[in-house]
A and B are shown apart, each in its own frame.
Chain A
């Protein structure tokens, strides 16, 4: 998977000209990322002054097919999703993956480790055949993604910043170092020192290590940072005495589609 911060093509110049038209779409996901956008409250009103929202099904009825930037939430989990995302791609000048499900496959990939027949049967029983689906995958497995706003859910301020950068025609920047850096800045005691596991060592920063700060550990929801060393990470966890199953539980939580390979 490619996690380098994106470089926009010459498309960005056309964003400078008029009021850019933006649209929101979702695939398999919980809509928590779109909720974060609604939760921007007053800041949202500011953003709305600079863009034209042509499609945002969650909060708006009118729908237009003419947009510059498409924000897409959720994973691709069915053949028919592919058609729809390709159509969105063909209309959008810039396509932004919103949240872990869209950017890295996220939580939906938990089912990829089970046989399709099994999970369909567990949930739908004899009617399983009615509901087609396949292994969950990130948008980038099907179309070109220009930028991503990682996280589960996304950080609303990061969303506001990325939108601003896109509007200015800049390449949105994402931290390329691990969550540990921010965790130290937040003054947290390292989970490994507490005998617990944590994925901050391989995960892209930008959330302020909020889960660690709130008493949990990093689950890896922002995806791997570009030079994450998975072998070293696994060694650290091995040496700290965690068995393979425990490591696997954590690695599969959000990172099931990455090359993390557990």
Chain B
């Protein structure tokens, strides 16, 4: 096992070796070297996570189990994986779900986005902004702020539970409908906790507005990709929008998200229309901010976040905005369900026939695609999952390459912190590193900085 470097920086020369970046999901390393002259000689983002082979594990499985397998790709966005999986299966098998199911699924997605965003901004990012190494010491130094966060998160857990039955790997969502419906009582309770969370979230917005200045001032313009829907801030469905290309239906996802392998990473990397691109809260904000609801817009204003924003550290701010937006939208959706009354509905009957389907959902970390082919028995013959973090890896690398020279002369601790914060901003979900490569195109390896020094063997 590699040991963290313990060199003492006596000159400008320094070696940054963040072996297993913390406060992210999964295992990633940041390696950067600066020579005596202050020149960056190497800089790379590695993913040594154990590969998990989900696309192979789905082969031969029946349509009613596939979304439960997909769920285990990630504990933090298990609902999002289930939803993308269900969309793909339903498209392949020609199943249409009811409006009630749709509303419930949108609610489930809001619940998970809120839960995950709060975990990220509150527990993973905030400690950096307040100069501590974890959320734990904040219990004594920033107790009140922490309690607002803890309470909002508790609300989001309860939200997920009321809608999908369990916060992680839920059991209610199924092909063609819901295995169990929330009762009217549950929905009233949901409405109450959502309304109760509004002041709590105001406090969180104020907190981030106050500490925003501690984010490094760094910008790099890139391609932003996200779902876009004419009727709403695109999350559950829409076309794939890019700041570099015309919109495309989700079925053509391989035109905008082209995956390839790199030797330093068990996770795949992706190229967009022009090259590396960003997905996630900031990409969505840059594409869809015009469709935020009133409270979302107000939060963005308070945080001073304007589209387009090219500062990747502001992904966290966009996440705060989305939480506020999602709470308001969830109240609207709950009201709609309460007005029409929860109808006892049987899930749609599924008729198995060969087919192909693509699902595209905006999960906390960005755009997620699942694509399946089924045989006549309703068993998977081909599966492809393109997860948000894999789409961001190349962009993270590009950001590191742009940022490191700017801060190369700062002391080692500062460089290490800023690079770590940068990767953390993306909220990478590394353990999902399990993805299929489209073999039709012979992709070359990416070049790190400088060309030639690329780590073909992991150091």
- Measured CA separation A211–B61 after assembly (Å): 20
CB-defined contacts of A78 to chain B, threshold 8 Å = 50
What's the minimum C-beta distance from B448 to chain A, rounded to whole angstroms? 16
Chain B residues with CB below 8 A from A114, complex form = 56, 59
Enumerate B59-90 residues with CB–CB distance to A below 8 Å.
Answer: 59, 61-62, 65, 68-69, 72-76, 78
**Distance in angstroms between the alpha carbons of A228 and B154 in the assembled complex:** 37
Q: Would A31 and B59 count as touching, CB distance under 8 A?
A: no
**Docked-complex contact B171 and A32, CB < 8 angstroms:** no
Contacts A152-B169, A153-B169, A219-B68; A31 near B76 (Cβ below 8 A): yes
Distance (Å) between the CB of A4 and the closest chain B CB? 26
Measured CA separation A42–B55 after assembly (Å): 37
Q: Is B248 an interface residue (CB 8 A)?
A: no
Q: Is B25 an interface residue (CB 8 A)?
A: yes
- The interface on chain A, measured as residues whose beta carbon lies within 8 A of the other chain's beta carbons, has a size of 63
A57 touches B22 (CB 8 A): yes
> Does chain A have a CB within 8 A of B434?
yes
> Is B166 positioned at the interface, with any CB of A under 8 Å from its CB?
yes
Q: How far is the CB of A79 from chain B (nearest CB, A)?
A: 11
Contact of B56 among A63, A77, A111, A219 (CB under 8 A): A111
Q: How far apart are the CA atoms of A214 and B168 in the complex, in Å?
A: 13
**With A62-B134, A216-B179 as contacts: A124 and B437 at CB distance below 8 Å:** yes
Contact A130 B263 (CB under 8 A): yes
Which residues of A lie under 8 Å from residue B55 when comparing CB positions?
A: 122-123
Q: A158 at interface (Cβ–Cβ under 8 A)?
A: no
Neighbouring B residues of A108 by C-beta, 8 Å = 52
Q: A122-B53, A215-B171 are in contact. Are A41 and B153 (CB under 8 A)?
A: yes
> How many residues of chain B get a CB closer than 8 Å to chain A's CBs?
62
- B150, CB-defined interface residue at 8 Å: yes
CA distance A13 to B434 in the complex (A): 42
Q: Mark the stretch among A22-30, A89-97, A229-237 that contacts chain B.
A: A22-30
The reply to whether A59 and B172 contact each other, CB–CB distance below 8 Å, is: no
Nearest to B50 among chain A residues (CB) is: A28
Instruction: Choose from B1, B20, B261 the contact partner of A124 (Cβ within 8 Å).
Output: B261
Residues of A31-73 at the interface with B, using a CB-CB cut-off of 8 Å, are 31-36, 38-39, 41-42, 45, 48, 53, 56-63
Contact of A58 among B23, B61, B133, B169 (CB under 8 A): B23
In the assembled complex, which residues on chain A have CB atoms less than 8 Å from the CB atom of B134? 53, 56, 59-62
Q: Is B179's CB under 8 angstroms from A111's CB?
A: no
Question: Is the CB–CB distance between B57 and A249 below 8 Å?
Answer: no
Q: How far is the CB of A240 from the nearest CB of chain B, in Å?
A: 17
Q: Is A253 an interface residue (CB 8 A)?
A: yes
Q: Tell me which residues across on chain B come within 8 A of A42, comparing CB atoms.
A: 150, 154
B51 at the A interface (CB under 8 A): yes
Instruction: Map CB proximity to A onto B108-123 as digits: 1 under 8 Å, 0 otherwise.
Output: 0000000000010001
A45 touches B53 (CB 8 A): no
Q: Does B435 contact A (CB under 8 A)?
A: yes
Interface of B is mostly: loop
Min Cβ gap A179→B in Å is: 13
Indicate with 1 or 0, residue by residue over B11-28, a CB within 8 angstroms of chain A CB atoms.
000000000101111100
Do B165 and A215 touch across chains, with their CB atoms under 8 A apart? yes
A17 within 8 A of B: no
Answer yes or no: A80 CB below 8 A from chain B CBs. yes
Q: Are B168 and A36 in contact (CB under 8 A)?
A: yes
B431 CB–A CB distance under 8 Å: yes
A41-B157 in contact given A118-B56, A119-B56, A219-B68 (Cβ < 8 Å): yes
Q: How many A-B pairs with Cβ below 8 Å?
A: 175
Which residues of B in the span 184-235 have a Cβ within 8 Å of any Cβ on A? none
Question: Does A120 lie within 8 Å of B78, measured CB to CB?
Answer: no
* A12 sits at the interface (CB 8 A): no
Chain A CB within 8 A of B412 CB: no
Nearest CB on A from B90, distance (A): 18
B136 at the interface (CB under 8 A from A): yes
Q: Tell yes or no: A84 within 8 A of B by CB.
A: yes
Complex alpha-carbon distance, A123 and B385, angstroms:
10
| Contact call B26/A31, Cβ cutoff below 8 A | yes
* A15 located at the interface, meaning its Cβ lies under 8 Å from any Cβ of chain B in the complex: no
Specify which chain A residues have a CB less than 8 angstroms from the CB of B242 in the assembled complex. none
Assembly CA distance A249 to B66 (angstroms): 11
**A210 in the interface, Cβ–Cβ < 8 Å?**
yes
> Does B72 contact A249, Cβ atoms closer than 8 Å?
no
Residues of chain B contacted by A39 (CB below 8 angstroms): 153, 157, 167-168
Q: How many Å lie between the Cα of A49 and that of B157 in the bound state? A: 23
Which one of B154, B261, B435 has the greatest number of beta carbons of chain A within 10 Å? B261
Decide if B315 is an interface residue (CB 8 Å cutoff). Answer: no
Chain B residues with CB under 8 Å of A62's CB are 133-134
With contacts A30-B74, A131-B51 known, is A58 near B157, CB below 8 A?
A: no
Q: Which residues of A contact B316 (CB under 8 A)?
A: none
Given contacts A36-B168, A214-B170, contact A41 B61 (CB under 8 A): no
With A32-B168, A35-B75 as contacts: A215 and B180 at CB distance below 8 Å: yes
B123 touches A59 (CB 8 A): yes
User: Is A182 part of the binding interface, using a Cβ–Cβ cutoff of 8 Å?
Assistant: no
Of residues B25, B53, B170, which shows the largest number of chain A Cβ atoms within 10 Å of its Cβ?
B53
Question: Which residues of A are at the interface with B, using a C-beta cutoff of 8 A?
Answer: 26-36, 38-39, 41-42, 45, 48, 53, 56-63, 74, 77-78, 80-81, 83-84, 87, 106-108, 110-111, 114, 118-120, 122-127, 130-131, 133, 152-153, 210-211, 213-216, 219, 249, 253
Ranked 3 nearest A-B pairs via Cβ: A32-B75, A215-B179, A215-B180
What are 26 residue pairs bridging A and B, where the CB atoms are less than 8 Å apart in the complex?
Answer: A27-B50, A33-B75, A35-B75, A35-B168, A38-B119, A38-B123, A39-B153, A41-B153, A41-B154, A59-B22, A60-B134, A61-B133, A61-B134, A61-B420, A62-B134, A81-B50, A106-B72, A107-B69, A119-B56, A123-B51, A123-B434, A131-B266, A214-B170, A214-B172, A214-B180, A215-B172
Supplied contacts A114-B56, A215-B180, 6 more A-B pairs, CB within 8 Å: A30-B73, A38-B119, A62-B134, A130-B263, A216-B179, A219-B68
Q: Which residues of B come within 8 Å of A, CB atoms?
A: 1, 20, 22-26, 50-53, 55-57, 59, 61-62, 65, 68-69, 72-76, 78, 119, 123-124, 127, 133-136, 139, 150, 153-154, 157, 165-172, 174, 178-180, 261, 263, 266, 420, 431-432, 434-437, 439
